[in-house]
Amino acid sequence: MRKLIQNQYIYFALILFVLLFRANPCLAEFTIADEKKLGKEFYDKLEEHQLILKNKVLNDYINKIGNLILTQTKKAPFEFRFSIVDSSAINAFATPGGYIYINKGLITAAENEGELAGVIAHEIGHANARHVASIIEKSKKLNIATLAAIIAGAFLGGGGQATAAIAAFSMAGSSTLTLKFMREHEEEADRLGISYLVGAGYYPAAMIDFLKIMKQNEFLSKTMPSYLLTHPGTDDRIFYMDSLILTQYPQKGAKNIIGNFNRIQVLVPLDTTDELNKKYRQLEESLKKDPANVDLLYTFAFVEDQLGQTSSALIHYQKALSLSPRDQDVLKNIGLIYLKTGQADLAQNYLLRAAGLNADNDEVTYALGKAYLATGNYQKALDCFLRLETASQDNDDINYQIAMAYGKLNKQGESHYYFGLHFKKEKKKESALFHFKEALNYFPKNSERSIAIQQAIKDLETGGRQKSEEKPKP
């Protein structure tokens, strides 16, 4: 699997290489329009290969921090976009056009929100200073063979971590040109980043604290973390930021502003059971020292549930709820456990309490819909699912659930229609066509729904013929 992912990134490298150098190895000025085009192409390829982590809560959290920091910057010539890369490598990087990427491994490595904000601020500094454009323009002095070697070295570097290779090219791929050149970029990004960070209200030393975590990580593991590989000059950076804090930023600042950092960390999917067990042991030790800490109880119960220790997780969630009776996250997760274990009545009770605290929580609405469906309250279930039909949320089967609810209400036309939408999204053409054609029997010929169904059928059938008629390229 790792080899496959690595090959995908090499493929991205070649795409970037072609985009940048296919016209002429000696590029003219790399414009804002060029940056936007390259940044979007890179993002689209990551998304196409499902390497962008899709989790609404995590992405909302990263965007809140990023947008808070952006309020302290001068208006950039492009719109920023913050994304999480599905890699356990500890890294972050900026690509052209205001695209900021944070690896999931970096989120779990940070000790507080301020450290994560410091990394994001640093990357925004790189983007605002257009360092990528500068690197690309600098590379025009090199021939194609040398540029290809730099790209290959960057993408195969980082101790075998494919995502580190992306960051190495995107932000520091030309570090072999001159070390001083990259350190100047790092210094400017730190100078800009710390001003954004402090302006947003975070504590100034957050950036230093994270670098120290990386150095400690290097000492304990004997291998250099990806972040240090792609953001060189660590000792010099720490010294420089120390001097800035002493002379310009003596204020305190906050470690957490958005809040709930520990709960956000536990939502980051871990790649192996060993990582999950390690997290379990760490939380277990922390809980012994602070048994009445609601956040620790919540995160410990969350990990227990992931490990299949459902009964124990429920005990710790209930203890957390006794300490914080209006905690929406705890209420929601108790409801989810009861739903998972077939106790839909109990699930409904806790989920309704959670919805009473925040009616706009998509995850609660979805779970409540499933609880209503399980208890036979089909109309309420349908109402919940329809609220989520066009919502930006993390489930791929909302059309399936709507179809089930309509079916239970004996509205067969709508049920077939939504089953068709579900199977179309799943790329199961024959199943989709079956349900769409069945749905046509329930709607007047020229009705809005009938027209939509006929168009869906046409799209499926035309698309299938076009694909079969395509001839292999020579």
Q: Tell me the per-residue pLDDT of 362-400, one tens digit each, with 9 for 90 and over.
A: 999 999 999 999 999 999 999 999 999 876 555 678 999
Given 3-state DSSP classes, what are the helix, strand and coil percentages for the chain, each rounded to the nearest 5?
A: 70, 5, 30
Distance CA 94, CA 82 (A): 9
Q: pLDDT tier at 35 (50, 70, 90 boundaries)?
A: confident
Q: Are 84 and 59 in contact (CB under 8 A)?
A: yes
Distance CA 226, CA 91 (A): 6
Q: Is the pLDDT of residue 414 over 80?
A: yes
Domain spans of the chain?
A: 2-248, 396-467
Q: Tell me the per-residue pLDDT of 14-25, one tens digit each, with 9 for 90 and over.
A: 344 444 444 444
pLDDT score for 220? 64
Q: Are 222 and 131 in contact (CB under 8 A)?
A: no
What angle (nearest 5°) sits at the alpha carbon of residue 154, between those of residues 113 and 220?
50
- Pick 208 or 161 by higher pLDDT: 208
Distance CA 3, CA 10 (A): 11
Average pLDDT value for residue range 338-342: 96
Q: Tell me the per-residue pLDDT of 187-241, one tens digit each, with 9 for 90 and over.
A: 899 999 999 999 999 999 999 999 999 888 777 666 777 777 767 778 888 999 9
pLDDT score for 18? 41
Q: Of 57-61, 104-108, 268-272, give the lowest mean pLDDT range.
A: 268-272
Q: Tell me the per-residue pLDDT of 230-288, one tens digit each, with 9 for 90 and over.
A: 677 788 889 999 999 999 998 899 999 999 999 999 999 988 889 899 999 999 999 99
Per DSSP, the residues of 366-392 read HHHHHHHHHTT-HHHHHHHHHHTTTS-
- Which residues contact residue 239 at a Cβ distance below 8 angstroms, ignoring those fewer than 6 apart? none
For the chain, the average pLDDT equals 82
Q: What's the burial of 289, exposed, middle or buried (CB within 10 Å: 0-12/13-18/19+)?
A: exposed
pLDDT score for 192? 94
- Among 110, 118, 86, 93, which Cα is nearest to 216's? 110
For the record, the structure tokens of 133 come out as: 């454009």
For the record, the structure tokens of 263 come out as: 């709960």
- Among 348, 322, 360, 355, which Cα is nearest to 57's? 360
Distance CA 436, CA 97 (A): 41
